[in-house]
Structure 1
C-alpha cells in the first residue's frame, strides 16, 4: 500500500541521522522490519537517504542505543525481538485477590517477563495542579504521595506517582514506606473505597530531567504520561496516579463497546 506524503512546507530541523533513525524506528515498531530481519545495507541506506556513510552509522547507533537493533561494524544489522509491550489498562483495575501479587506484576509475568517495583518515597506533599484538581483539593492542600519505579527484566520502564486524600490515607498502610500486599486497589477496597471507575488521560511529552535519568533514556524520545483518576462510590476520587512510560517501549490498548 502506498501512503501519500503530506508536505506542509514545514522544515524538519532534526539532524539527518535523527530523521533516518526515526524512519527506520517506525518501520521496526510497525512490523515492516520484523524481529530477526536484516536492515538494508549501508550502501542501500546511503542511496535511500542521500546520506554519507558516517551519517548512516550515527543513525544506526541511535537504534542500537535504544536496543532496537544489534550488529557491529562490517556486519549486518538486525532487528531485535520486539520490545514494545501492549498495555491493557482494564487488566490492572480490579483489586488483586487474597494472597495475590499486585496485578502489574502478574500481568507482566504472563508476557514472560520478570517485573519488579521499587518504592522510592512516601509522604505528604502538595501535588501538581492537575492532580490537585482531580482530587478536588483546595489551594495549598496536601495529598499522600507514594512514588515508585517499575522495572522489567532489570530495566526501568515506568515512573509511578500515586496521590491519595489524606483523610483516607492517614493511619493506614498507605503512609508506610513498604509495599502493600495485593496493591493499593485491594487496600482501598478493604478501607471501604472500592474502585468503581477509572479515567485515563494520555499525552506524549518530552521527558523531564528526572524522568530522563530515572528511565535511563538513550535519547530524547518522548514519554507517555498517563493521568489516571480512580473514583469510588458516589464518584469520589480516591486515587490519582501519574504514570510516565518510555514511549518507544509501550503502546496502550483500549477496548470499547459500541453505543
Structure 2
C-alpha cells in the first residue's frame, strides 16, 4: 500500500528527515531543488520552503548563499573538562587542530541568578569576571568565563582558574554542573551563528570550594554543541 504524500510543511520536513536518516542524503550532500521537491511531494513550493526553514531551524539543513541547501555536517572536537581548562590548547593540538584564543579581559559586574547561586551570594553582588573566546581552526567554539567575589577589584585569570582563591584559601573541592540550552543573543554573535539556527550550546560550570566548603570561584565554559563533544572518564 502506497503511503499518502505529506501535505503540510511539518509532514514534508519529517519525510526529508527520514530520507536523510536512511542515507538518501549524506552529510554535506545537497538537497534537491525546491521545484523538484515540490513535484516529488506534490505540494506547492511555498510548502517546501517552509519545510526547509523548519529543518534549518532544527539544525538538520544549512543554506549556502548562491549554492543551495545542504545536509548539515557535524565535525566534533573532543574536549575533556576534567583535565582542567588550562589544558584546552593541548587537547586541541593533540587532535591535529589549531587552537587560538583572544586575550582574556576582566570586568566587574553584578552577579546574575546563576552566578549568585554558584558563589552562594545575593543576586546583584559585585563579582570579578574574566572572559575569553576560544577558537579551533579559526572558528569560535567556546566562551570561557571565570567569576570570583570582587575583593579588591582584581579578577582571577581565566587561563589559570584552578589557582583562584578567596581570603587566601585554596580550592580543594569542586562541583560540576552541565546544562544544554539554546544560545543567548550575545552568544549567537560570539559564535557567528546568525546563519546557523538550531545550534544548541552546552554550559559547563565548575564550582570550586575552599577548606571551609564555601565557594571560592566558578569557571563556566559555554561551548558550541555542533563542534565539541564533551568526554569524561578514562582516556583510551
TM-score, normalization by structure 1:
0.62
Check whether the contact 1:116–1:150 (CA below 8 A) recurs between aligned residues.
Answer: yes
- 1:9 corresponds in structure 2 to none
Tell me which protein shows more strand as a share of its residues. Answer: 2
Following superposition, the deviation at residue 130 of structure 1 comes to: 1.6
- Distance of 2:129 and 2:30 partners within structure 1: 45
Check whether the contact 1:119–1:146 (CA below 8 A) recurs between aligned residues.
Answer: no
Query: Quick check: 1:155 aligned with 2:125?
Result: no
- Distance of 2:20 and 2:84 partners within structure 1: 28
- 2:209 corresponds in structure 1 to 231
- Distance of 2:24 and 2:84 partners within structure 1: 30
Query: Quick check: 1:23 aligned with 2:30?
Result: no
Query: Quick check: 1:197 aligned with 2:189?
Result: no
- Distance of 2:19 and 2:103 partners within structure 1: 32
- 2:156 corresponds in structure 1 to 174
Q: Count matched residues.
A: 216
Please give the per-residue CA displacement for 1:14-64, whole angstroms capped at 9, x wherever unaligned.
Answer: x65994699389859xx997768x567669977886666783798499534
Q: 2:119 aligns with which of 100, 124, 135?
A: 135
Query: Quick check: 1:85 aligned with 2:77?
Result: yes
- 1:184 corresponds in structure 2 to 161
The 1:220–1:78 alpha-carbon spacing in structure 2 relative to 1, beyond 3 Å, is closer
Please give the per-residue CA displacement for 1:90-149, whole angstroms capped at 9, x wherever unaligned.
Answer: 1226xxxxxxxx311111111111112214531221111121121111354211100121
Alignment of 1:117-136 (within 5 A): 117-119=101-103, 121-136=105-120
Please give the per-residue CA displacement for 1:142-198, whole angstroms capped at 9, x wherever unaligned.
Answer: 11100121111111112222201234xx476737xxx74xx222x337x65145323
Query: Quick check: 1:165 aligned with 2:149?
Result: yes
Please give the per-residue CA displacement for 1:63-102, whole angstroms capped at 9, x wherever unaligned.
Answer: 345x9xxx956xx96875x412333221226xxxxxxxx3
Query: Quick check: 1:213 aligned with 2:189?
Result: yes
Structure 1, unpaired ranges of 5+: 1-12, 94-101
State the secondary structure of the residue aligned to 1:244. strand
- Distance of 1:50 and 1:253 partners within structure 2: 45
Query: Quick check: 1:240 aligned with 2:218?
Result: yes
Structure 2, unpaired ranges of 5+: 1-7
- Distance of 1:21 and 1:127 partners within structure 2: 46
Check whether the contact 1:126–1:140 (CA below 8 A) recurs between aligned residues.
Answer: yes
